Structure 1
Amino acid sequence: MMNPFQDLVLNLQALAAQVPELVQPLIVMLAGAVPFLEGEAGSAIGMIAGLHPVVAGVAAAAGNFLSVLFVVMLTSRARTAVVNRDRTRVGVTVGAGGSSASDHDETDAAFEQITSAKPESKGRQRFKRWLVRFGVPGASILGPAAIPTQFTSAILVGAGTPRGWVLLWQAVAIVIWTTLATVSIWAALTFVVGV
């Protein structure tokens, strides 16, 4: 007699069998690209659906990394636009009369008060502590324990960390976390569930 989890796994495998084999890893890649699911849950979905653990892990990690790459490029462009706009505004303000400079200072001060009044989430606070303590490599590797890799990469690039450095350490973190999850889930499915 099967337990409910075995029945669920077998039903999911039967559903996945209706999808062409070449498309199954693409579905796992899409799952890996979703924040909070990422490579860890993506590989679990793939293995439960019947994919080989290596294929599921690689597809999920690739999807996770592609979404991080997209976020890094988007955040980098946004940061560059803001920095360039601020430099232009400072140049214009310096050349203008003194009254407009004080107006901008008052506006900036009011904006700072509004944005600093919003409380940060516990995950973001934990991530910032890790960033200060361990730097970009440590924060990237430990970050997925607090917040998704997409958020981690956006914070790092938004703070001015070079894109290449962020992508390197996010790739390392994705490989580590996805491998740990894939091996753990494979062991659980093999030895505990018996599927």
Structure 2
Amino acid sequence: MSERLGGAELWEQALLLALAGVIPLIESYLGSFLGIAFGVPAWVAVPAAVLGNLVCTIGLVLVTSRVRAAATRGRLRKEKDDTWFRRRVARAAERYGVPGASLLGPLTLPSQVTATVLVALGARRNQVILWQSISIVLWGLAFGLFGEALVGGLAPGA
């Protein structure tokens, strides 16, 4: 990937990082960091990885919201599918609310999983989109700054 990313045109670098931002656990934060580490300018790497992660996560929230609405329409929701992911996100949502679960979620789970489970648990779609977007941007910026400081600190003559 480093040969492809480093030797690509700027628009190709942005596209590759946006695609990397879609992948769970790479997302905005690792995509930003890796882009900068491979020589992509921070002003390209961070927005590209953030955009890829945002598009994927918001798309999943919208789909999950519709599926949940269709599944629960006209009947009481059965408590089932008590998975490890669901329990973990539910605990965080109860303890910290949607903002806390969204902002702290990347420490343990991909944002795509956190957002999807929050909506499936009944959190309001627009609130999840807002807080996941804030989280994705903040994590992308933080790791972009970290990458810039690390790469800049390791560069000859720095």
TM-score w.r.t. the length of structure 2 is 0.87
Shift of 1:128: 2.9
Once the two structures are superposed, residues 23-44 of structure 1 have per-residue CA deviations (whole angstroms, 9 ceiling, x without a partner) of: 1101100001111110011112
Q: Determine helix, strand or coil for the equivalent of 1:22.
A: helix
Q: Measure how far apart 1:181 and its partner are.
A: 0.7
The answer for the alignment partner of 2:130 in structure 1 is: 168
Between Structure 1 and Structure 2, whose CA radius of gyration is higher?
1
Structure 2 match to 1:95? none
Q: Which has the higher helix share?
A: 1
Distance 2:61 2:37 in 1: 31
Count of equivalent residues:
155
Query: Moved runs in structure 1, 4+ residues, more than 4 A?
Result: none
User: Equivalent pairs: percent with the same residue?
Assistant: 33
Gaps of 5+ in 2: none
Aligned to 1:178: 140
Correspondence for 1:39: 28
Picking from 145, 149, 155, the partner of 1:194 is 155
Greater shift after overlay, 42-51 or 165-174? 42-51
* Deviation at residue 51 of structure 1 after TM alignment: 1.4
Structure 1, unaligned stretches of length 5 or more?
Answer: 1-10, 91-107
Partner deviation per Cα, 1:78-133 (whole Å, 9 max, x = no partner): 1011012xx26x8xxxxxxxxxxxxxxxxx7xx95xx45xx625xx5443332111
Secondary structure in 2 matching 1:23: helix
Would you say 1:75 and 2:37 are equivalent positions?
A: no
1:140 aligns with 2:129: no
Alignment partners' CA distance in 2, 1:194 and 1:125: 44
User: Contact 2:14 / 2:44 at 8 angstroms: preserved in 1?
Assistant: yes
Contact between 2:33 and 2:146, CA under 8 Å: does it hold in 1? no
Which structure's relative contact order is higher, taking Cα pairs within 8 Å and 6+ residues apart?
2
